[in-house]
Structure 1
Amino acid sequence: MMHLAVLSVLLACAVSLSSSAVVLENGLPILWAHTTEQMSDLPKQNDILNPDPWHYLHRMSLYRLMIAATNPFMGSMGTDATDSPLWGLPLQLAWMVTSGRLADPTGATTCGLETGDNMCISTQSWWGCVNYLSSVLPFLSAVQQGFLGPDLQVQMQVPEGVVDYCTTYADCATRFPDVMSKWDAFFQGLKSASESPLSDAEKKDALLGLNWAAQLASTHSSSVCDTRKSYYSSTEQSFFNSWLNSAEYVAAVHFHSNIAKTVPFISPLPGRVLQENDNFADLSDEERHTLSIFSWMQSINSFLGGTLVSMWQKAMCSVQTREKGREMLEQLLLDPRFATSSFVSLVTGMATGC
């Protein structure tokens, strides 16, 4: 699966730290063309499918297989093959690999480094750990719900000596019952949507709600990755705390995380790991704006005792307010001219109307 052509593509995309991380190649997540198209192409041991989620192409293949299997049930999302809300997940993984966030943060190995095995995802990477919860767990749920074929058995590979990652559906359901139940509910919802009398717009909103409930459950379980935080600078730690916080706002508006809508939000994320006392001088204006807004959202929410998030969630009480909320998030994150004070006042007014 691995060859020089794949290596050269990734190296070309990650060659410069002074620009935003590349997430697309020919309109699809980076190296998508080199991923697996058939379940039968996955490694197998004793009739059990045995993918290696610690290899970038294997983990990305889980997304490709899951998206292809669920696309026939995504009619309410639109007519384009890139309209599934699941596309947001591989785009995040693409950003993580090209920004160097899947590499070994301890420096003990060359896993994930350009000068080493750059397809390797380190078990010590906080980002790789958090992404495991939103890649392996939904994939195992999709298999369990029958989307990828009948009577399949899947067990993820795990490096020797690593014990804090679940590897099968039963194992993950035991360790993360809330996460797995919410992913199960999403995939079951996809099946039942075809028989629902609701309009496509209503189906879409309901399915996006189930999807984000599952994604948030994965995010909320990220505390299992906390032991890896100490490998990063305090600046990077602040960033990934604010990155987690931002998911609360995106989930509440039932954001349609297809490729077209997600890329503008992924592209301005910092294209490298942040360092202690980082002055961000080599980052683009867009990257610095994103870091500023993420930090502001986290700080103001903490200052208000968590009430900004709760007000936002309360305000997103209808299809109409969620549409307005999506517009507000786009302005806040992508338009430097949008005043943060306006955001707070608008949220306060919307919340009182629900």
Structure 2
Amino acid sequence: MLRPLFLSFLLACAVSLSSSAVFLENGMPILWAQTAGQVTDLPTQNGILTPDPWNFLHRMSLYRLMIAATDPYMGSMGTNATDSPLWGLPLQFGWMRNSGRLADPTGATTCGLQTGDTMCVSTQSWWGCVTYFVSVLPFLSAVKQGFMGAGVQVQMQIPEGVQDYCTTYESCAASYPDAMSKWDAFFQGLKAAAESPLPENEKKDSLLGLFWAAEMASTYASAACNSRQSHYSSSEVSFQNSWLNSAEYVAAAHFQSNLQNSALFISPLPSRILQVNDNAPNIADLSSEENHTLYVFSWMDSVNSLLGGTLVRMWRSAMCSVNTREKGRQMLEQLLLDPTFATQTFLSIITGMTSSC
């Protein structure tokens, strides 16, 4: 049975579909059918895999290959073929493309524009840079841990004149050791879970903890992308920062970012890049759902800043058990998807949950 909140959300989406960025195609991430179905579909040079992460289909292929390679170890996530937490990454990436966020924000090229190379991911895009850390880094780790086969070597392509991206497991481990070690721990944990006698729900919670630890380490490493924020309006930069901040909450709650859950949270994200005069919840050409999401993101980020980071710390403290993490996931769903759920209610519940830990 679908929950009433989910049903009402789907109805709202149907009404506002015209203003939402499309990120699903036949129930799968956009252009999924055009991505590499096996490692040998990727380009090679001298026996080394050389995918181009600045091509949308190549980077999306990294996600498809990781999901396929790890699915045999994801039994604790559920019985559906789309229950892996990795599904949230390609959905997110597809939303970025169709909302214009992977295109060149400087205007110097037509990379990513409908009038240019639509499969191009700009090296100047802040969004393209941030997602490099949750696509290339985990893929290189998965290869290192043997998920793509024995003896596979990878060297990512990089455009001429671009210096600040790592391209091999070794260079990424040297530049971002914490992120790479946590992705290694996640992939090693998948293999260990297959042999573990623990109950499935405990294995699931543990694996989601490892996944989000790696995801957040990549997010912190993506501070390397900060200079690219100068290409955007203050409204878009504010959204970028609040979008990063929101990850703290879903990570601590061990959110299962499978295809269905991720679609629920990505659908109301803004369908275009924000301009300087955009002020949620009163952006005329965005849907009420998009306006509400922007408002909630901004509120959470502002309160956390005003409290000197206390809101995030309180939330992390409250997410102290499998039970409170389940309640936390329900609260996040209500806060983001139910406009009647007051932000003050959210604060008071967190305070109560923290005291019970």
| TM-score, scaled relative to structure 1 | 0.95
SS for the counterpart of 1:194 is helix
Q: Deviation of residue 113 (structure 1)?
A: 0.3
What CA distance in whole angstroms lies between the structure 2 residues aligned with 1:20 and 1:222? 27
Partner in structure 1 of residue 139 of structure 2: 139
What CA distance in whole angstroms lies between the structure 2 residues aligned with 1:38 and 1:256? 25
Residue 325 (structure 2) pairs with residue 322 (structure 1): yes
Equivalent positions of 1:31-46 (< 5 A) are: 31-46=31-46
Amino acid paired to 1:318 = S
Partner in structure 2 of residue 349 of structure 1: 352
Amino acid paired to 2:95 = W
Partner in structure 2 of residue 97 of structure 1: 97
Partner in structure 2 of residue 307 of structure 1: 310
Partner in structure 1 of residue 339 of structure 2: 336
What CA distance in whole angstroms lies between the structure 2 residues aligned with 1:149 and 1:81? 22
Structure 2 portions without partners, runs of 5+: 1-15
Q: Deviation of residue 250 (structure 1)?
A: 0.3
What CA distance in whole angstroms lies between the structure 1 residues aligned with 2:17 and 2:318? 39
Q: Deviation of residue 41 (structure 1)?
A: 1.0
What CA distance in whole angstroms lies between the structure 2 residues aligned with 1:221 and 1:274? 25
What CA distance in whole angstroms lies between the structure 1 residues aligned with 2:275 and 2:60? 27
Alpha-carbon deviations, 1:149-207, whole Å to 9, x = none?
A: 00011000000000100000000000000000000000000000011110000000000
- Asked if 2 retains the 8 angstrom alpha-carbon contact of 1:17 and 1:282, the reply is no
Q: Deviation of residue 17 (structure 1)?
A: 11
Residue 257 (structure 2) pairs with residue 257 (structure 1): yes
RMSD over equivalenced CA pairs, Å: 1.1
Partner in structure 2 of residue 152 of structure 1: 152
Partner in structure 2 of residue 210 of structure 1: 210
What CA distance in whole angstroms lies between the structure 1 residues aligned with 2:261 and 2:66? 20
Q: Deviation of residue 281 (structure 1)?
A: 1.0
What CA distance in whole angstroms lies between the structure 2 residues aligned with 1:252 and 1:153? 34
**Aligned residues between the structures:** 339
Equivalent positions of 1:96-245 (< 5 A) are: 96-245=96-245
Instruction: Give the direction of change, closer, same or farther, for the CA distance of 1:304–1:202 in structure 2 (3 Å limit).
Output: same
Percent of aligned positions that are identical: 73
SS for the counterpart of 1:221 is helix
SS for the counterpart of 1:170 is helix
Partner in structure 1 of residue 292 of structure 2: 289
What CA distance in whole angstroms lies between the structure 2 residues aligned with 1:186 and 1:17? 36
Equivalent positions of 1:75-90 (< 5 A) are: 75-90=75-90
| TM-score, scaled relative to structure 2 | 0.94
- Asked if 2 retains the 8 angstrom alpha-carbon contact of 1:186 and 1:210, the reply is yes
- Asked if 2 retains the 8 angstrom alpha-carbon contact of 1:182 and 1:213, the reply is yes
Q: Deviation of residue 111 (structure 1)?
A: 0.1
